[in-house]
Amino acid sequence: MRKPFLGGNWKMNTDKASAVALASALADSVGSLTDKVDVAVCPPFVYLDTVSQALAQSSIAVSSQDIYFESNGAFTGEISTDMLKDVGCEYVLVGHSERRHVIGETDELINRKVKAAIAAGLKVIFCVGELLAQREAEQTDEVVKQQIEKGLVGIDAAGAANITIAYEPVWAIGTGLTATPAQAQEVHAMIRNLIAGMYSQDFADQVRIQYGGSAKPANAAELMSQPDVDGLLIGGASLKPEDFTSMIASAAESV
Ligand code: PEP
């Protein structure tokens, strides 16, 4: 049985006061739902420390939105794994589509980041997903397969046990367009099959695969009812504590 896992990606939103208010409101409203659902929030780097402190008494984990693969030194503007652990991060997002397609991160860079995070004892939410043109050209499986194979080069099963995969079709992120539950299920099943081939069926049965892309209270239950959808990575709706909590409740009911 895979415990559902919901992540809230705040992206480049909030300020210090609203980040603390959002984290505190969420901690108050989730209550014992975290017995059934793992929950993490991903604030901007500069608020990680404050948000970690605000969530110290809760079971909500904190994640960064990115990471750098070097441990220290002359890398202006970058943030290391030790710095993230120092401010209470348990998870890191790696390979989010906005970093792939807006910032220009490659599969090779993403692979170095995944390896560095695992080596440092951090858990990774590893994001993959196709562009609209790639879906229309029926290249979804091939694109996602390549992102996973290249992103996980050199990572053995012990390392990969620290990874959650987030399937996020790029055309659905922040657009209001959501993959249908059937579309999500189809890709999630393909990913699980791929992971079984790369590692083992037992391993693939354990790995959690989140869906991301305009997930909201109205579609959370149906997405979560799909057999290979083990959680959600949520952008916009995670900025509203009542919406995020309602989605966590839907995930709890799906168990
Ligand atoms: C995301 O940021 O990963 C995401 C899925 O955003 P949204 O829910 O706003 O589409």
Cβ atoms < 10 Å from Cβ of 73: 8
Q: Which two tokens stand for residue 235?
A: 């952008």
Distances (CA, A) of 106 to 53, 55, 74, 101, 130: 33, 33, 21, 9, 14
Nearest CA to ligand 1 atom 7: 235
Reduce the DSSP state of residue 138 to 3 states and report it: coil
pLDDT attached to residue 1: 83
> Which domain covers residue 140, as residue numbers?
5-253
Annotated catalytic residue within 98, 105, 130, 168: 168
Token digits of residue 115: 């390896």
Is the model more confident about 84 or about 174? 84
User: 242-245 long-range contacts, Cβ below 8 Å, gap at least 24?
Assistant: 242/29, 243/216, 243/217, 244/6, 244/8, 244/26, 245/26, 245/29, 245/30, 245/33
Total domains present in the chain: 1
Q: What is the mean pLDDT of residues 11-17?
A: 98
Which residues surround ligand 1 with Cβ inside 6 Å?
9, 11, 168, 173-174, 212-215, 233-237
Query: Residue 130 is which amino acid?
Result: E
Q: What integer pLDDT is reported at residue 18 of this predicted model?
A: 98
Q: In angstroms, what is the C-alpha Rg of the chain?
A: 17
Atom of ligand 1 nearest to the CA of 175: 10
In the annotation, is 96 catalytic?
yes
In one-letter notation, the amino acid at residue 168 is E
CATH of the domain at 54: 3.20.20.70
**Which tens digit of pLDDT belongs to each residue from 53-103?**
999 999 999 999 999 999 999 999 999 999 999 999 999 999 999 999 999
Distance (Å, whole) CA 232 – CA 74: 36
Q: What pLDDT was estimated at residue 178? A: 87
Beta-strand runs (E) in the chain: 5-9, 38-42, 61-64, 91-94, 123-128, 163-167, 209-212, 231-234
Asked whether the predicted pLDDT for residue 193 surpasses 90, the reply is yes
Identify the residue whose C-alpha is closest to ligand 1 atom 2: 235
Distance 201 CA to ligand 1 centre (A): 29
Is the pLDDT at 177 greater than 90? The verdict is: no
Q: How far is the CA of 61 from the centre of ligand 1 (A)?
A: 18
**Whether residue 168 lies in the annotated active site:** yes
| Pairwise CA distance, residues 163 & 155, whole Å | 10
Average pLDDT over residues 45-50: 98
pLDDT for the residue numbered 163: 98
